[in-house]
Copies of this chain bind each other. A is one copy, B any other.
């Protein structure tokens, strides 16, 4: 299914197209991205296709969500390759605005989700989610989709966007798509290309830590302290890694879990790794997560 997507650069043009498509009775699914597309993004495109008649991908490296300017500067920009990948997946429209389209001169309006954006990545990347919710609001207003698809790898981002969408009354269905992994377990991320060979190997500690916790939780371990010990034991194998956070929280409210765990529990990890080779450049921060399922509860639910 190879088509050539239509590339639109102006917000007003996208809005006019959205109105025409909606009024023709066709459903639009939006996949917001920052480009540097890889297989995980394409799985979001495939998921989007299941919910709509047209799949629109936005490609915009949003300056306001980078709390670290160096991180913004080195974010990979690969538009031609992105376009080819989208064509191969049958994407209908690519929205690739310039910065001034989404941030006109003197822009000073911000969309902010308060509580959900505070912990985890919100704590270690001040202002990050404010940038995300602001740009996603603008993308939603530009594309007017029926559905928008986000990856579960950015678990907190998904939770924050769900809340924002409901609170503001966008009338858009938010779909979370499962994390795609490399064969060895590393969660796919545009940032993985910055890992040197040692860091690439050590980065497997994240998925190993998630698996260890999952196994223990499934076996009935309910002590937060014991579970976090297992997690830290795995993460410590990454000798050049530096833990940003490793936390157990409520998957809905993102509040901290109690000492004795119950029900479904989010395990969220963020680890810094040294950059490639000569040690130049900033560290590479990887995140990963799993929702530990209380299988007894779920079994009961299925029986009910």
The residues of A with any CB-CB pair to B shorter than 8 Å are 11-12, 15, 19, 22-23, 101-104, 106-116, 133, 137-138, 141-142, 163-164, 166-171
User: Could you list 21 examples of A-B contacts with CB < 8 Å?
Assistant: A11-B169, A11-B171, A15-B169, A19-B22, A19-B23, A101-B169, A103-B167, A104-B167, A106-B163, A107-B167, A108-B115, A108-B116, A108-B167, A109-B113, A109-B133, A109-B168, A110-B111, A110-B112, A111-B168, A138-B168, A141-B168
Chain B residues, Cβ within 8 Å of A168? 109, 111, 137-138, 141
**Smallest CB separation, A72 vs chain B (Å):** 20
Q: Are A111 and B109 in contact (CB under 8 A)?
A: yes
**Smallest CB separation, A94 vs chain B (Å):** 18
Q: Are B170 and A141 in contact (CB under 8 A)?
A: yes
Query: Closest 3 interchain pairs by CB?
Result: A109-B167, A23-B23, A108-B114
Q: Are B141 and A171 in contact (CB under 8 A)?
A: yes
Chain B residues, Cβ within 8 Å of A101? 169
Chain B residues, Cβ within 8 Å of A102? 169
Chain B residues, Cβ within 8 Å of A108? 113-116, 163, 167
Chain B residues, Cβ within 8 Å of A133? 109
Q: Answer whether A141 and B114 are a contact pair too, CB < 8 Å, given A23-B23, A163-B109, A164-B109.
A: no
Chain B residues, Cβ within 8 Å of A110? 111-114
Closest to A114 in B: B108
- Max chain B Cβ within 10 angstroms of own Cβ: one of A15, A116, A137, A168: A168
Alpha-carbon separation in the docked complex, A103 to B107 (Å): 26
**Smallest CB separation, A50 vs chain B (Å):** 23
Closest to A103 in B: B167
Q: Are A104 and B138 in contact (CB under 8 A)?
A: no
**Sample of 6 further A-B pairs with CB below 8 A, known A108-B114, A111-B168, A141-B168:** A102-B169, A109-B112, A109-B114, A109-B167, A110-B111, A110-B113
Chain B residues, Cβ within 8 Å of A107? 167
Partner of A15, one of B103, B138, B141, B171: B171
Q: Are A138 and B169 in contact (CB under 8 A)?
A: yes
Closest to A109 in B: B167
Closest to A108 in B: B114
Chain B residues, Cβ within 8 Å of A15? 169, 171
Closest to A252 in B: B106
**Smallest CB separation, A209 vs chain B (Å):** 30
**Smallest CB separation, A7 vs chain B (Å):** 18
**Smallest CB separation, A61 vs chain B (Å):** 18
Closest to A137 in B: B168
**Smallest CB separation, A252 vs chain B (Å):** 10
**Smallest CB separation, A224 vs chain B (Å):** 25
Alpha-carbon separation in the docked complex, A168 to B168 (Å): 13
- Max chain B Cβ within 10 angstroms of own Cβ: one of A11, A15, A108, A116: A108
